[in-house]
């Protein structure tokens, strides 16, 4: 099977033109922000994920990261999500952010595989910061998992918020148990237009316990771009989406329980296109049903 990625889905020149057009159209539109339920602090609704994006700490990766982070900040975005297990991503981001003096402009989220103080110290050193905004326990599998150490780190000022993550449906029961008992500030979950299980199980509980929601893999690991290859956006969707990326992201943002979407990219044109989803109209409930039916019918 030939793998169709977003980079092969559109040429770089075409993506750049689309991004400029999108930003020009949306410049006057208000920024879509969402409140973090536990505090009321507001975040721009589109951020950046870094899984498998900035794994290598080399000149090319550093350059791409600088461009992408610059595009994010320029358009009003703030959320950057990474992890201690994402290769050299923390070091790449730390270097880029420090060199451009952008720390105060960003909401930095990272993840640890365990309640390990040495791993936390390593992450903070690599990110070149004394504290992160969000510290998450990555890939929760144990329904009895305690977040006591994460809460202690929060009390010590090493992070402002704590959360849990999972991108595995088989672990949703564990996520539900920990989310309901430990009541973290955030949950990060696999959620996309073609994978809507989180709508039924995780989002209602997150709203109940007042946890913010970050959506990982909002393009379904590239499945969504492959599904619509060669097709134009439906006429009925052009009032709220100027590209397929915005179509996919705005479906998620059409749910008020979603705090921010965090698509990954190393391409500044794609970053700009993604950021277009946090301006302009959002689909209403009927339009979201039509979007889901459209994708289900492909």
Domains held by the chain: number: 1
Query: Domain with 96 in it: what CATH number?
Result: 3.20.20.100
Residue corresponding to tokens 């749910």: 255
Q: Write the pLDDT tens digit of every residue in 6-29.
A: 654 443 344 445 445 554 555 568
Whether 292 is covered by a domain: the verdict is: no
User: Considering the entire predicted model, what is its pTM?
Assistant: 0.92
Whether 34 is covered by a domain: the verdict is: no
- Structural domain span for residue 183: 41-222+256-266
How far are the Cα atoms of 16, 252, 262 from residue 45, in angstroms, in the given order? Answer: 21, 10, 9
Mean pLDDT for the chain?
Answer: 93
Whether 8 is covered by a domain: the verdict is: no
pLDDT at 29: 85
**In what order do the strands lie in the sheet containing 186-190?**
48-49, 79-81, 107-112, 132-137, 159-166, 186-190, 212-216, 260-261
Q: Write the pLDDT tens digit of every residue in 114-162.
A: 999 999 999 999 999 999 999 999 999 999 999 999 999 999 999 999 9
Q: Please give the share of the chain, as a percent, with pLDDT higher than 90.
A: 90
Whether 188 is covered by a domain: the verdict is: yes
Spatial CA neighbour of 133 closest among 170, 159, 152: 159
Whether 53 is covered by a domain: the verdict is: yes
Whether 108 is covered by a domain: the verdict is: yes
pLDDT at 28: 65
Q: Which residues contact 25 (CB under 8 A, 6 or more apart)?
A: 242, 276, 280
Q: Does residue 178 carry a pLDDT above 80? A: yes
Whether 180 is covered by a domain: the verdict is: yes
Q: Write the pLDDT tens digit of every residue in 203-247.
A: 999 999 999 999 999 999 999 999 999 999 999 999 999 999 999
Q: Residue range 159-176: average pLDDT?
A: 97
Torsion of CA 175, 224, 65, 77, to 10 degrees: -70
Pairing of strands 159-166, 186-190: parallel
Distance separating alpha carbons of residues 97 and 65, to the nearest angstrom: 9
Distance separating alpha carbons of residues 81 and 161, to the nearest angstrom: 13
């Amino acid at each position: 099977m030939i793998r169709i990625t977003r980079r092969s889905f559109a040429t770089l020149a075409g993506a750049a033109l689309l991004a400029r057009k999108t930003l020009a159209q949306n410049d006057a539109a208000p920024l879509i922000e969402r409140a973090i339920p536990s505090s009321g602090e507001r975040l721009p609704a589109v951020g950046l994920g870094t899984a498998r994006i900035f794994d290598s700490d080399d000149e090319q990766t550093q350059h791409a990261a600088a461009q992408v982070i610059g595009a994010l900040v320029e358009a009003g975005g703030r959320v950057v999500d990474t992890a201690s297990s994402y290769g050299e991503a923390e070091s790449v981001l730390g270097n880029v952010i420090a060199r451009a003096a952008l720390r105060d402009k960003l909401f930095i989220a990272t993840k640890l595989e365990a309640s390990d103080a040495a791993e936390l110290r390593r992450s903070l050193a690599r990110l070149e910061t004394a504290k992160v905004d969000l510290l998450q326990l990555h890939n929760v599998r144990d329904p009895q998992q305690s977040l006591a150490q994460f809460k202690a780190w929060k009390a010590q000022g090493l992070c402002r918020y704590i959360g849990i993550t999972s991108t595995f449906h088989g672990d949703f029961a564990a996520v539900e148990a920990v989310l309901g008992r430990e009541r973290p500030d955030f949950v990060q979950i696999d959620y996309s237009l073609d994978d809507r299980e989180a709508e039924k199980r995780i989002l209602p509980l997150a709203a109940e316990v007042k946890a913010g929601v970050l959506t990982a893999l909002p393009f379904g690991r590239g499945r969504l771009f492959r599904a619509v290859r060669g097709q134009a956006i439906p006429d009925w969707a052009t009032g709220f989406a100027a590209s397929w990326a915005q179509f996919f992201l705005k479906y998620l943002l059409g749910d008020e329980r979603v705090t921010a979407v965090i698509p990954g990219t190393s391409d500044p044109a794609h970053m700009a296109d993604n950021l277009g989803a946090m301006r302009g109209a959002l689909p209403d409930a009927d339009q979201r049903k039509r979007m889901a039916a459209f994708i289900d019918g492909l």
